[in-house]
Amino acid sequence: MRKNRLRLVGALAALLVAAGIGAGPPAQARHEPPTLADLAQRHGRYFGSATDNPELVDEPYKALLGSEFDQITPGNGMKWYATEPEQGVFDFSKGDEIVDLARAHHQKVRGHTLVWHSQLPGWLTGREWTAPELRAVLKKHIQTEVRHYRGKIYAWDVVNEAFNEDGTYRETVFYKTLGPGYIADALRWAHQADPKARLYLNDYNVEAIGPKSDAYYRLAKELRSQGVPLHGFGLQTHLALQYGYPTTLEDNLRRFSRLGLDTALTEVDVRMQLPATEEKLAQQADWYRDMTGACLAVRRCVGITVWDYTDKYSWIPAFFPGEGAALPWDEQLRPKPAYFALREALK
């Protein structure tokens, strides 16, 4: 009789476990390790990832994107060639898909990018413009896009990559036709279209103090003194092991903060010459740890975004042949030493 009773109790327990009853707290209530976003939030920061539309059919990738990060940047879907492929004809479908995904996961969105010399549509680059013509085109593009996303975008990279390495202005169609004033105009037009969005200048190779970051510092100081609505400076932070770590990163972040600007590490990856070795992956992890520490040390460094989180979808191999392995997760979505270094830095 006692054996039968025990069998009955065991069977009932098995049924309860299968139903999710009586087996301790439900899965969502059990202790889960904090995500990178959780850890960053404890410091008042965000931790984000870029993404792009083609990879959103990858469900395991999408699940990790939705759970580990609290900020998203569209890699391509908001650039000019995608959003205004014909003059005056706007298509926001790719950007909308990523914004909708982010909103479903309660993630912030950084808009990227309104004014850039690259990935422009042929109708814009294939003819000569007078200054009044191009000014009208630029204003319409900025304001149409920013109004479309008004209230849905936390911050915009308004002008991207405006300077050369030596600190001179890049000879873009906008600079050559409109002069350097196009930058202030772009910021004003974006602010009119969405007064609550944070507006950034954004560039690469500006992590260390040097000619290029000095040029941005001077420009930012000038724009702020003129009352132009500039709220932040984005440091892309595309690094490469063979070129050395930007040891003045923290000092650089701090001087922009003193101008009253937020800063952010906006497109982070750390590439290496392949094949990846344990030694290179350990050095990469150190760099991810150090850059995170630099951001945490400066109060107005508001967050970090990796330029997609997995080597599976990295832009690096296509642009730098023989290089890669730049991100905290490998091509099989397995965390690398860099991922654990990020956790360590954020703790």
| Residues designated as active site | 161, 267
Q: Would you say 52 and 308 are in contact if contact means Cβ atoms under 8 Å apart?
A: yes
In this structure, the number of other CB atoms found within 10 A of the CB of residue 189 comes to: 21
- Token representation of residue 38: 């959780």
**Rg for the chain, CA atoms, rounded:** 23
Give the chain's length: 347
Residue 37 contacts residue 68 (beta carbons within 8 Å): yes
Closest CA to 165 of 231, 120, 216, 114: 216
Token pair 């991207």: residue: 160
How far apart, in Å, do the first and last CA atoms of the chain sit?
Answer: 56
Task: Give the count of alpha carbons within 13 A of 182, CB side only.
Answer: 29
